[in-house]
Amino acid sequence: GVVVLSNATSVFALTNGPRQVQVPVDAFTDPEAEEYLVDKRRVLDDPADRALLQRIIEDDTTVVGILQTYAQTYDDATGDAAAKRAAVEALFDKRAKKADSTLAKLLKFGSGKEPGASFDVPAYRELVKMLLDAPTPENGVDDVDLDLPTAKRVAPVLAEYPALRYNPNTSRYYWYETRHRRAAERLKDAKSPLLRP
C-alpha cells in the first residue's frame, strides 16, 4: 500500500520534487518476512543462506517492496545458488553503504559542514544519539528538548537525506529503516566525529 502526500498540504513535501510522492507503508514482521522470502518466493531457502537471510531481515528492512526487490534480484541472477546468493549479498551491501552515506550527509548537514546548508542544525546529531539510546527505537523519540526548526523546515532536509522520518501524528522521529539505525551504530562503534558535539 502507499500513502500519497500532496505538496500543497504536507510537511513532507519535496521542495524540488514532484507534486505527489508515494511512500511505502506496508512492512512484514520478522517471521512474515522470512516466510515471504523462503516459503513464498523460494529465496535464500538453503541452510547455507540462513545468515544472509537474517542479516536482511534484522539489519536492513522488512518493508514489502524492498523484500520484493531482494527476491527479484535473486530470481534475475544467473548461475547456481551461490551466484544468486552473491547477487543478493551485493544488493544488501550496496543498501548498507547507501545508508552509511545518507546518515553521514544528514549529520554533516546538521553540523553546518555540508555545502549549501541553508541553516545549521546540530540537533540532528543529538536526535540520532537519542534514537540510538532509546530503549525501544521503534517507538521513536520526540524533539522536545532539541533546537530543531519546525517540521515544515525539517521535511526538505529529511527528504534529501532520508535516514530519519518524522510522524506529525505522534510528533516523534523514527529511523527511516533499520539499515539506518545500523549505520548509526557503526558510526558510534567507530567513535566517529560525526556523532561528537
Grid cell in block for residue 155: 521535511
Per-residue pLDDT tens for 59-106?
998 888 899 999 999 999 999 999 999 999 999 999 999 999 999 998
Rounded to the nearest 10°, the torsion over CA 160, 165, 168, 171 is -130
Nearest to 141, CA basis, from 133, 150, 153: 133
Per-residue pLDDT tens for 12-69?
444 444 444 444 446 788 899 999 999 999 999 998 899 999 999 999 988 888 999 9
- CB-based contacts of 175, cutoff 8 Å, min separation 6: 131, 137, 163, 164, 165, 181, 184
Per-residue pLDDT tens for 126-166?
889 999 998 888 888 887 777 676 777 777 888 889 999 88
128 vs 16: CA distance, rounded Å: 25
